[in-house]
Amino acid sequence: EAQVTQNPRYLITVTGKKLTVTCSQNMNHEYMSWYRQDPGLGLRQIYYSMNVEVTDKGDVPEGYKVSRKEKRNFPLILESPSPNQTSLYFCASSFSGTVNYEQYFGPGTRLTVT
Amino acid sequence: GENVEQHPSTLSVQEGDSAVIKCTYSDSASNYFPWYKQELGKGPQLIIDIRSNVGEKKDQRIAVTLNKTAKHFSLHITETQPEDSAVYFCAARTPLDSNYQLIWGAGTKLIIKP
C-alpha cells in the first residue's frame, strides 16, 4: 500500500529535550515536506526537500532541522524543543516538487512540549 | 509572496443541502489550485484541483470554480452527506515561487447536520 508513515503519532516531552520525528514514504517520491498545523493558521511549511541531500527552508524553519540521506526518509529534528513548538506535524511527499503533483500526507504527529 | 484567504472558518449545513467554501489569492501568477480534505485524526487528502486554464471542474458531487479576474476560487459540494464532515483546505501555487511551495488557506470546518 502506497503510504507516508510518521512516528511517533503522539509525543509529550519537556523543554530542551532533543527529539526526532521520523517520516518515511514507499512511493519513490522525490519531494518531501514537513508542515505544522495550528488552529486558525492552516498548514505552514517548515522544511522541504527536492531530492536526496537537497533541503531548504519553508516559512517557519526556526527551531527545526531536517536531513535527507535516503530518498524514502525525511526526519524532523527538534534540537531544543520549546512550548511554542507544541503543534500537529505532518509529513508529505510528492512525485516531484517542480510540477503540480498531488501531495500525500502522513497521519500526523501531535507534539506537546511542557 | 502569495497569500490565500479562506472563508468561512466554520460552515454548518443540513444534510442534503449544498456547501460552498471560498478562497481568494493575491498573486495573479498563481496557476494551480488544489483542495484537500482532512478527516478527524488523519492527514489532508487531495479531493480536486484546478489549473488556471480551466474555469470549472467537476467530480461527482464536488466542483471547483476559478475566477482569475477576481482572483478567487470556490469549492462546491452538492447533496451533502455525513461523510463530508471534515476540515477543507484550499491552496495556491505560483510557478514564479522559487520554493515551489503550496500556500494554504486557514481551513474550513464543515459540519453536516443530520
CB contacts under 8 A, A 70-109 vs B, are 90, 92, 97-98, 100, 102-103, 105-108
d(CA A71, CA A32): 9
Residues in chain B: 114
Burial A63-72 (b: 16+ CB within 10 A, else e): ebebebeebb
Q: Give the best residue of A60, A103, A104 to mutate against chain B (max B CB count within 10 A).
A: A103
Nearest to B23 by CA among A75, B32, A76, A90: B32
In chain A, what residues touch B99 (CB-CB under 8 Å)? 45, 48, 56, 58
**CB atoms B89 and A48 under 8 Å:** no
Question: In the predicted model, is pLDDT for residue A38 greater than 90?
Answer: yes
CA distances from A113 to A62, A81, B43 (A): 16, 7, 21
What is the pLDDT, as a whole number, of residue A63?
Answer: 97
Closest Cα in chain A to B94: A100
CA distance A85 to chain B (A): 18
Q: What is the mean pLDDT of residues A77-84?
A: 97
In chain A, what residues touch B41 (CB-CB under 8 Å)? 107-108
Q: Letter for the amino acid at B79? A: E
The mean pLDDT of chain A is 95
**CB atoms A50 and B100 under 8 Å:** yes
Other C-beta atoms closer than 10 Å to the C-beta of A101 total 15
Q: Give the best residue of B59, B100, B108 to mutate against chain A (max A CB count within 10 A).
A: B100
In chain A, what residues touch B32 (CB-CB under 8 Å)? 100
Given pLDDT bands bounded at 50, 70 and 90, which one contains residue A111? very high
Closest Cα in chain B to A89: B43
**A14-28: per-residue pLDDT in tens?**
999 999 999 999 999
What is the pLDDT, as a whole number, of residue A98?
Answer: 75
Residues of B with CB under 8 A from a CB of A: 6, 9, 32, 34, 41-46, 49, 51, 89, 93, 99-102, 104-107
Given pLDDT bands bounded at 50, 70 and 90, which one contains residue B96? low
What is the pLDDT, as a whole number, of residue B101?
Answer: 80
**B7-51: per-residue pLDDT in tens?**
999 999 999 999 999 999 999 989 899 999 999 999 999 999 999
